Structure 1
Amino acid sequence: MTKPKILVVFYSRNGSSESLAKAVAEGAEAVGAEVRMRRVRELVGPEVMAMAPGWAENAAAMNERYEAPTADDAVWADAIVFGTPTRFGSMASELKAYIDGLGGVWFQGKLNGKLGSVFGSTSSKHGGNESTLLSLYNVLAHLGLIIVPLGYSHPALFKAGTPYGATFISQGDTQKPGEDDLAVARYQGERVALIAGRTISAVQ
């Protein structure tokens, strides 16, 4: 099987989506994929970030760990996995800004036929995980990506996550993803990487 290239691009403010992103990357790497992890950057200024305790500090620490994503990263990848916390039932504006910036390579047809998958997190129960992931499916379709859902294709999905992608509820940022949540995310990375590898081999 050809070694697939997986881009995991995410936004995280308090670490929940970051934890899922790391698990997705681990799952993909475990089956031989080459992975790039990228964190999108804040759109607001320090005065807004200061209104939420820990935001600026967490952002600075994560930005030290991860490069910002570029359009070239998306072109490089065979599959793109987007991750986001919910913002009023949809994706974070930080992730949306990165996606909007892909218009140039999209217009050139450089994203068409790649695989796409999504994961997300919320602060509260019924906080919009499924609506957020489904809204991202619209984006994947417009980019020309082949959507890779999870269904109920792994036992972990009967304990955590959704058929649309890995999810987590932080209970007001008092909880961190547990083993069941991370198992779904690792499986998502594995599934995307394996399907990407098969797709590459089929067209060679």
Structure 2
Amino acid sequence: MATPKILIVFYSRNGSTAALAEAVAEGARALGAEVRLRRAREMVGPEVMAMAQGWAENAAAMNETYGAPTADDAVWADAIIFGTPTRFGGVASELKAYIDGLGGVWFQGKLNGKLGGVFGSTSSKHGGNESTLLSIYTVMAHLGLIIVPLGYSHPALFKAGTPYGATFISQGDTKKPGDEDLAVARYQGERIAQLAGRIAEPVSSAA
């Protein structure tokens, strides 16, 4: 199996989505994948960030750890896995801005046939995890990605996550992802890496 190349691009404000992203990356690397882990950048200035306690500090720390995603990252990858907190039942504007910036490589057909997945977190129960993940399914279809859902293909999914992707509820940022949440995220990385390794294999000229 060829070495799969996995791009995990996410936005996180308080760390919950970042923790899921790390677990997805761990699962992908366990299958031998080469992983690029990238954090989308803020779309607002410091005066807005100052209105939410810890936002600026958390952003600075995560930006030290994770590089900003580029269109070249998406072209490089065999699979792209998006991660986002829920914003009013939909994707965070920071991640959406990155996706919108892929128009050039999309127009050139450079994203067609790559695998796609998504994971997310929300602050409250029924806060929009599933609607957010499903909204990105639509985006992935437009980009030409092959969408990889989780279904109920692993025992962890009967305890946490969704059939659409790994999820977590932070209960007002009072909790961090637990073992069951991280198990689903790791499995998502494994599942997509395994499939990406197959599509990355060179096609025989005799085929």
Q: Confirm or deny a common fold (TM above 0.5).
A: yes
- The corresponding residue for 2:169 is 169
1:125 maps to what in 2? 125
**Runs of 4+ with >4 A deviation:** none
2:31 maps to 1:42: no
* Cα offset, 1:16, TM superposition: 0.2
| Cα displacement (A) at 1:198 | 1.3
Q: Secondary structure at the match of 2:149?
A: coil
Could you say which residue in structure 2 is the equivalent of 1:32?
32
Q: How many residues align?
A: 204
Percent of pairs with identical residues: 84
- Give the Cα separation in 2 of the matches to 1:60 and 1:51: 16
Q: What pairs with 1:51-200 in structure 2 (closer than 5 Å)? A: 51-200=51-200
Aligned counterparts of 2:175 and 2:125: Cα–Cα separation in 1: 12
- Which blocks of at least 5 consecutive residues in structure 1 are unaligned? none
SS in 2 for 1:85: strand
Q: How far off is 1:199 after superposition?
A: 1.9
- For 1:94 and 1:125, how far apart are their aligned partners in 2? 23
Offset of 1:201 from its aligned partner?
Answer: 2.4
Specify the SS of the correspondent of 1:164: coil
Asked whether the equivalents of residues 78 and 199 of structure 2 are also in contact (C-alpha less than 8 Å), the reply is no
3-state secondary structure, aligned to 2:199: helix
Spell out, residue by residue over 1:43-89, the C-alpha distance to the aligned partner (whole angstroms, 9 max, x if none): 00000000000000000000000000000000000000000000000
Q: Which amino acid aligns with 1:165?
A: G
- Measure, in 2, the Cα distance between the counterparts of 1:23 and 1:80: 15
One-letter amino acid of the counterpart of residue 145, structure 2: L
Q: Which residue of 2 aligns with 1:15?
A: 15
TM-score, normalised to structure 2's length?
0.97
- Supply the AA of the counterpart residue of 2:79: A
Distance across 2 between alignment mates of 1:57 and 1:38: 18
Structure 1 CA distance for aligned equivalents of residues 102 and 201 of structure 2 = 26
Which whole-Å CA distance do the structure 2 matches of 1:125 and 1:203 have between them? 46
Structure 2 counterpart of 1:44, which letter? V
Q: What letter is aligned with 1:144?
A: G
CA distance in 1, matches of 2:110, 2:79: 12
**Tell me, what secondary structure is at the counterpart of 2:2?**
coil
CA distance in 2, matches of 1:89, 1:124: 11
SS in 2 for 1:19: helix
Quote the Cα distance in structure 1 between the aligned partners of 2:87 and 2:60: 21
What one-letter code is carried by the residue in structure 2 that aligns with 1:20? L
The alpha-carbon deviation at position 203 of structure 1 amounts to 3.6
